[in-house]
Amino acid sequence: MLELKRRNFLKMSAASMSGLLLSGRSAFSVPNLSSDPHLFLMLRTSGGMDATLGLDPQVRSPDATESDLFLEYRPEDIISIADLKLGPTAKPLVPFAKKCAVLNGLMMRRDAGHDSLIQYMATGKGDGSAAYLPVELAASFGAGPYGVFFTEPIYTGSRNVILTTPQDIFNEGEGPRLSQMLKPLDPNKEKTSLLALALRNVISGEITAEKLIKTLAEVKKVHPNLSMEIQALLSAFISGASQQGLLDIALEGNLDTHADHEKVHFDLQTQVWQKVADIFSLFEKTPFHNGSLMDYTTFMVISEFSRTPFLNGAKGKDHNTDTNSVLLAGKGIQGGKTVGSSRVITAKKSNTGTPLHIATAVDITTGLPAENPKNASFIFPENVIRTVSEIFGNPKGFSAVDSNIAIIRGLIK
């Protein structure tokens, strides 16, 4: 068997490229240059999603009233599929249930605001010391020549990684090819500035650039109605230009419904899950290596926190950092499974005097729901980040969270 050293790797790459050009085969059918790629896509939605409407549906207990738990659906509207229970907004996920795992009862500690908490969720650190997970994986697991694909500002911390935007992917096909043109500027290997790094990538990325341009053209042809962001993402992943991405789910409204929550948040959250399902569907239909793009991609869908179980005076729901939910899907994920849970505590029984929707505490010795606060803890964002790191083989140099943070084994296939 041919040893896949760098020289052979480049030879193979060149061969497959020339084969591609000669035969004129679809870019979709071209094997990725890596033997077993593992892609990662973080889908981020901002505002704070009411988990009771989607990933963590609830049924009002007999002793609870609407002022404890406001719900816009009946118990029979909750969708049960495999080991998953989905609220009505998450209905679009049903076809993909076997590939999805839901993590409920994620404790976000306290309300430090949208920015701090989305950062906590995306990095596993609430103090701003770590990079977003796609960046951390790019730095430790390895990245494509175009680095991390992103659509909205991404926090890179101290990681020196290449970042690429949809506009960049689209610009690639326009104007002159830069790799040959800039070859004499190939920086000395000792130079490690971001400029040097990026220049080196432009110069050495000719094969990928060609493939990316061809793939983008094909994607545009096959999926003319997709947004520019999705076309660029798909092209970047298929061509091997990027292996990690952060995609913001843009909505026609604001999920942060402190007022007039009813129906408005429901419709917006339905949009979120529809868009997620559309991406799953697209990835599933896209041939890649020996399967589909879905088979080679791990997805993580996040929002900063959930929302209070009751309506406030403005008929809105405020931030609830006592619980949150995350959807994981794709490669390495134990599909059709729910891990973790939350509970609604009525005002009468609540230790704070207000109704709570709160993560279930876990007994740290057994991993089962705790019966009392002794030896109990919660699942936190750092556990999720640590778990994804494990799914990627715990890459050397991964430092977003400490290696002694507990892994949520139930999520891993």
Question: Pick from 340, 337, 310, 311: which is nearest to 325 by CA?
Answer: 340
One residue of 275, 322, 389, 408 binding another protein per CB under 8 A: 322
For residue 398, give Cα distances in angstroms to 6, 56, 127, 328: 23, 30, 17, 20
One residue of 141, 288, 380, 392 binding another protein per CB under 8 A: 380
Sheet of 163-164, strand order: 163-164, 148-150, 244-248, 39-44, 297-302, 326-330, 100-103, 337-339
Q: Which tokens in the block code for residue 50?
A: 């009411």
65 binding another protein? (CB under 8 A): no
318 binding another protein? (CB under 8 A): yes
The per-residue DSSP string of 130-148 comes to S--HHHHHHHHT---TT-E
Q: Per-residue x/- marks for another protein, 94-113, CB under 8 A?
A: -------------xxxxxxx
Phi and psi based region of residue 170 (left: phi greater than 0; alpha: psi -120 to 50; beta: remaining): alpha
Would you say 325 or 346 has its CB closer to another protein? 346
At its nearest, how many Å lie between another protein and the CB of residue 234? 18
Q: How many residues belong to the site for another protein (CB under 8 A)?
A: 79
Binding residues for another protein restricted to 123-142, rule: CB under 8 A: 124-129
**SS3 assignment for 328-360:** EEECCECCCEEECCEEEECCCCCCCCCCEEEEC
Distance CA 278, CA 184 (A): 44
377 binding another protein? (CB under 8 A): yes
Distance CA 34, CA 147 (A): 15
Q: Which tokens in the block code for residue 315?
A: 């008929």
Torsion of CA 211, 214, 220, 226, to 10 degrees: 0
| Stretch binding another protein (CB under 8 A), from 18-26, 70-78, 312-320, 390-398 | 312-320
CB 335 within 8 A of CB 100: yes
At its nearest, how many Å lie between another protein and the CB of residue 2? 30
10 binding another protein? (CB under 8 A): no
Would you say 218 or 322 has its CB closer to another protein? 322
190 binding another protein? (CB under 8 A): yes
Strand ranges, E, within 158-234: 163-164
398 binding another protein? (CB under 8 A): no
One residue of 20, 202, 232, 249 binding another protein per CB under 8 A: 202
At its nearest, how many Å lie between another protein and the CB of residue 143? 11
Would you say 65 or 193 has its CB closer to another protein? 193
Would you say 293 or 356 has its CB closer to another protein? 356
How far is CA 409 from its chain centroid?
18
**Number of C-beta neighbours around residue 95 at 10 A:** 13
Binding residues for another protein restricted to 338-357, rule: CB under 8 A: 343, 345-346, 349-354, 356
At its nearest, how many Å lie between another protein and the CB of residue 8? 26
Would you say 27 or 361 has its CB closer to another protein? 361
At its nearest, how many Å lie between another protein and the CB of residue 319? 7
One residue of 195, 228, 250, 364 binding another protein per CB under 8 A: 195
At its nearest, how many Å lie between another protein and the CB of residue 36? 25
Would you say 77 or 115 has its CB closer to another protein? 115
DSSP state of 224: T
Q: Per-residue x/- marks for another protein, 150-189, CB under 8 A?
A: ---x--x-x---xxxx-xx--xx-xxx-x-xxxxxx----
Would you say 108 or 219 has its CB closer to another protein? 108
